[in-house]
């Protein structure tokens, strides 16, 4: 834009008048806006938002695992992050061994546990659960050449499980509390490695993890065996008993991401199809 000298002087004149006004203003008692501006700009930083510590056993792909950079990633992680964003709370994930994960929750070392935790009546006695966010069921992994065709066939075999999981419970029920044929491992991948090396004849674990492992380890030469006798399971966010406020926020966040399609997007990203096409958390769509 080109100025003529006249226009320039006019503009400069106005500017000068503005300065003059400002200068005059300084002599007056500080006007309200001048006093308010620094107050809001230099207000003491608001107390940092509480960051909720979330325990997860990050050896459970595709639900929770550690990537090459050591970051905790997975379906559960994305679901909780999205729900937390809706509920306006901050979360931070801390890798926590499965054994002891509920103790850490009870002692307050973790505010939540998000670790493909199946909601069970027994667990409900010592912790609170969010609304369910995923449907699961136990699945058997065996070598490709195994004759195992159903859960009952495991009765005379050595079976690997992750200690204290619902898979452990199911196998303990089948083989008996005192059975020495149950081999318990601190992680599900360790149990599956033992299957590969022949230390156990089968592994019973959550379907999502078994399917993911079999698909990503073709060299293991595993196959999966489903059995209708396994009870349907649902994952929930576990909280220390009595934390109603946080529980309500988590539930609100979960409801929001289910309502606005975020949940379906995350689901499709990990499992390739919307929940309705797989094991559906949609009650209306069930049998």
Rounded to the nearest 5°, which phi and psi values hold at 120?
-125, 155
Distance CA 17, CA 224 (A): 83
| CA angle 70–72–78, rounded 5-degree value | 150
Using CB under 6 A, which of the segments 33-41, 109-117, 190-198, 269-277 binds ligand ARG? 109-117
Q: 72, 77, 91, 116: which one contacts ligand ARG (CB under 6 A)? A: 116
| CA angle 53–56–57, rounded 5-degree value | 150
Shortest gap between Cβ of 83 and ligand ARG (angstroms)? 18
Q: 61, 96, 115, 262: which one contacts ligand ARG (CB under 6 A)? A: 115
Q: 52, 55, 60, 204: which one contacts ligand ARG (CB under 6 A)? A: 60
What six digits make up the tokens of 24? 């005059």
Shortest gap between Cβ of 43 and ligand ARG (angstroms)? 43
Q: 98, 102, 134, 151: which one contacts ligand ARG (CB under 6 A)? A: 98
**Which letter does DSSP use for residue 50 in this model?**
P
What six digits make up the tokens of 243? 């934390």
Distance CA 133, CA 115 (A): 12
What six digits make up the tokens of 195? 């299957």
Shortest gap between Cβ of 118 and ligand ARG (angstroms)? 4
Q: 72, 80, 91, 117: which one contacts ligand ARG (CB under 6 A)? A: 117
Sheet holding 182-185, edge to edge: 182-185, 159-162, 202-206, 138-143, 222-225
SS3 172: helix
Q: Any contact of residue 75 with ligand ARG (CB under 6 A)?
A: no
Q: How many residues belong to the chain?
A: 287
- The footprint of ligand ARG on residues 190-229 (CB under 6 A) is 206
- The footprint of ligand ARG on residues 220-279 (CB under 6 A) is none
Q: 118, 130, 207, 262: which one contacts ligand ARG (CB under 6 A)? A: 118
Question: Which residues are near ligand ARG by CB under 6 A?
Answer: 57, 60, 64, 98, 115-118, 162, 165-166, 188, 206
């Amino acid at each position: 834009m080109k100025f003529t000298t006249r226009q320039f002087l006019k503009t400069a004149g106005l500017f000068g008048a503005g300065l003059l006004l400002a200068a005059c203003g300084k002599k007056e008692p500080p006007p309200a806006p001048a006093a308010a501006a620094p107050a809001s700009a230099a207000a003491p930083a608001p107390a940092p938002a509480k960051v909720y510590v979330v325990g997860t056993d990050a050896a459970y792909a595709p639900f929770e695992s550690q990537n090459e950079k050591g970051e905790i990633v997975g379906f559960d992680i994305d679901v909780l992050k999205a729900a937390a964003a809706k509920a306006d709370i901050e979360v931070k994930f801390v890798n926590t061994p499965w054994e002891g994960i509920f103790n850490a929750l009870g002692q307050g070392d973790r505010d939540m546990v998000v670790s493909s935790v199946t909601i069970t009546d027994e667990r409900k006695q010592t912790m609170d659960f969010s609304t369910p966010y995923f449907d699961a069921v136990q699945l058997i992994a065996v070598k490709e050449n195994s004759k195992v065709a159903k859960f009952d066939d495991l009765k005379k075999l050595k079976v690997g499980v992750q200690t204290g999981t619902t898979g452990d419970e199911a196998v303990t029920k089948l083989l008996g509390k005192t059975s020495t044929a149950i081999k318990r491992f601190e992680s599900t991948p360790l149990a599956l490695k033992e299957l590969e090396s022949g230390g156990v004849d089968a592994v019973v674990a959550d379907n999502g993890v078994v399917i993911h492992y079999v698909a990503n380890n073709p060299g293991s030469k595993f196959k999966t065996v489903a059995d209708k006798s396994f009870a349907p399971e649902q994952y929930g966010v576990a909280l220390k008993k009595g934390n109603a406020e946080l529980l309500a926020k988590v539930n609100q966040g979960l409801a929001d991401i289910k309502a606005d399609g975020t949940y379906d997007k995350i689901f499709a990203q990990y499992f390739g199809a919307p929940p309705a096409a797989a094991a559906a958390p949609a009650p209306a769509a069930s049998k």
